[in-house]
Chains A and B, each alone.
Chain A
Amino acid sequence: KAGVTQTPRYLIKTRGQQVTLSCSPISGHRSVSWYQQTPGQGLQFLFEYFSETQRNKGNFPGRFSGRQFSNSRSEMNVSTLELGDSALYLCASGPGQGQGEQYFGPGTRLTVT
């Protein structure tokens, strides 16, 4: 089975712009979660989608949003970028209800200048 794929792998944006990141989960997985990884804050949960519905959200401002499509692919959007949004954004997919086991993609490295 192919693993979780994320595009693009690297991105450079300017403050105030917006960005969209994409994630394709492992075939058959219906849960997709997003995490932000920074040296200062570590790994933080952003949100989880299951069957096109957001069912859990972390403590991030409304500038961070996401969605999931009927084929389980997911996108994450960040509007009005700030320097502090520079991070590695990781997508993870899981088999479904309540197991907690998740498989991560390689991440998208976002740099905001």
Chain B
Amino acid sequence: GDSVTQMEGPVTLSEEAFLTINCTYTATGYPSLFWYVQYPGEGLQLLLKATKADDKGSNKGFEATYRKETTSFHLEKGSVQVSDSAVYFCALSDPSGGYNKLIFGAGTRLAVHP
């Protein structure tokens, strides 16, 4: 079945450092790919998405490119802030059946220190 694998955390960075969180997927169809972020005590917020190969999703300085050849969707940010500290989830959905079922990775906790 479809699955998502994320790099394990926690990832600890200093403010203004470069961030990469790796995400790879396994899917039989042509999934849409997402990054969600969860701040402490809150639900998930959609950070960015890409619906086909070579698409680049971007939002709030974060970006990720849908790489079909490597089945990857790595999240990057050039300069992190303390306020970026949260748990980040990579997810996929297979829209071919018209359904809205998200399959999530395990999540990667990011801690940014001043």
Q: Select B43's contact among A31, A45, A94, A105, beta carbons within 8 Å.
A: A105
B102 and A33 contact, CB distance less than 8 A = yes
Complex: A42 Cα to B38 Cα, angstroms: 13
Measured between beta carbons, the chain A residues less than 8 angstroms from B49 are 100-101
B104 and A42 contact, CB distance less than 8 A = yes
B100 and A33 contact, CB distance less than 8 A = yes
Take A101-B32, A101-B34, A103-B46 as given contacts and tell me if A42 and B107 are in contact as well, using a CB distance cutoff of 8 Å.
yes
Q: Select A98's contact among B46, B98, B105, beta carbons within 8 Å.
A: B98
Number of residues of chain A lying within 8 A (CB) of chain B: 26
**Per-residue CB proximity of A24-49 to B under 8 Å, as 1/0?**
00000001010100000011010010
B89 and A90 contact, CB distance less than 8 A = no
Shortest distance in angstroms between A93's beta carbon and chain B's nearest beta carbon? 9
B46 and A99 contact, CB distance less than 8 A = no
**B96 in the interface (beta carbon within 8 A):** yes
Measured between beta carbons, the chain B residues less than 8 angstroms from A97 are 98
Complex: A4 Cα to B97 Cα, angstroms: 24
Take A106-B43, A107-B43 as given contacts and tell me if A48 and B98 are in contact as well, using a CB distance cutoff of 8 Å.
no
A98 and B106 contact, CB distance less than 8 A = no
B104 and A100 contact, CB distance less than 8 A = no
Take A42-B106, A43-B89 as given contacts and tell me if A99 and B100 are in contact as well, using a CB distance cutoff of 8 Å.
yes
Shortest distance in angstroms between B103's beta carbon and chain A's nearest beta carbon? 7
B98 and A33 contact, CB distance less than 8 A = no
Complex: A106 Cα to B42 Cα, angstroms: 5
State the B residues within 8 Å of A (CB). Answer: 31-32, 34, 36, 42-46, 49, 51, 89, 92-107
State the A residues within 8 Å of B (CB). Answer: 4, 31, 33, 35, 42-43, 45, 48, 50, 55-56, 58, 90, 92, 94, 97-107
